[in-house]
Amino acid sequence: MEGNSLSERELRSLSVGQFGAFPVYNLTFASVRDLRGFLAGAPEMKEVLRRSEDASKEELESFLNLAKCLQMVNLKASRSNAAEPAFVGNRPNVPAYVAGAPKNMYRIARAKEKKVVQVLINLTYAGNTTAAQIRNRGILALNLVRVLEQNGYIVDFRAFEATFEDNAVCLCDVVLKKPGGKLNPESCYYPLCEQLVLRHAVGLLQKMSLRIKPEESSGRLSDEKLAELLLLNRQWKISLGNGPAANASPNKGKPGRRQIFLGTPASLGITGGDIYRDADSFLRSLKLADMITVPKYESEEE
């Protein structure tokens, strides 16, 4: 990242726009691999990446094992909800038959219409947040994706971090799972639990913004992107202006799409202790009973 102009690698992931009175610098990575490639291109990041790759294998193994524990509860709940009482079916409902109920058979529940849900996790956290809280938030975010998919939703899962400094917005986001794609927990561990990953990308972006010339701007961000920007950062204690895009609908052109925002661990009821208790608190905080059958985890604690 030497010199005054931006490199091809830097420009590849960069969008530059204007929102109200503020310039917006946005780095978007289509995958964790792209994010790592971007960071690896900065000489000052080589040591950071090396340390992350040498991180304790026990921590990663613990992360994956806890995620599997929750998945076992999900599968149990999925099996119990896969069949529904009916007049005709593929196996008898013995208690209903004995009671003389008309719906004394079980049949496979009809599949729900597929809808897209975007899960957005803000990697920012308070200074007193523990590593265990960050780890549990990562596990529970992955588990949320699985539960949504079990309930018939298509999930678009991404992480972001942003700053507002020197009257400019610097936003970085990375796609952790594309709609219809396969969830890779091991890949997700890196941005979700390595506490400073996107913060480093934001820091590099801030340095890049100082070297951007007017002709390097990609123009105004789209209305949809601006609306997403507002929603992603709706808890910021700043105003992002009153331009025409401020009232743009985040669902424009995407019927049935819903967005779920995951904030700090504390705001989600995550203590960093028992993963089952944190899982129940996490789902209660999101109030998703209208969307999904919410599993109960604490009863599974040994």
Kindly indicate the confidence band of residue 133, based on its pLDDT and cuts at 50, 70 and 90: very high
Q: Is the pLDDT of residue 98 over 60?
A: no
Q: What is the dihedral of CA 135, 141, 142, 148, to 10 degrees?
A: 160
Residue 299: per-residue pLDDT: 66
Question: E strands of 81-133, at which residues?
Answer: 83-86, 91-92, 105-108, 115-122
Give percent above pLDDT 70 in the chain.
65
Enumerate the β-bridge partners of residue 86: 105
pLDDT tens-place string over residues 275-289: 999 999 999 999 988
Q: Are strands 105-108 and 91-92 parallel, antiparallel or unpaired?
A: antiparallel
Task: Give the residue numbers spanning the domain of 201.
Answer: 8-300
223 sits in which H/E element: helix 223-232
Looking at the structure of the chain, the number of domains it has is 1
Kindly state whether residue 115 falls inside one of the protein's structural domains.
Answer: yes
pLDDT at position 108 over 70: no
Yes or no: say if 117 and 262 are a contact pair by the CB < 8 Å rule.
Answer: no
Report yes or no on 182 lying in a domain.
yes
1 occurs within a structural domain? no
* Residue 238, in any domain of the structure: yes
Q: Would you say residue 3 lies in a domain?
A: no
3-state secondary structure of 146: helix
Q: Per-residue pLDDT for 143 more than 90?
A: yes
pLDDT single digits (tens) 53-68? 665 677 888 899 999 9
| pLDDT tens per residue across span 259-274 | 898 988 999 999 999 9
CB proximity list for 224: less than 8 A, separation 6 or greater? 248, 250, 252, 253
In this model, does residue 237 exceed pLDDT 80? no
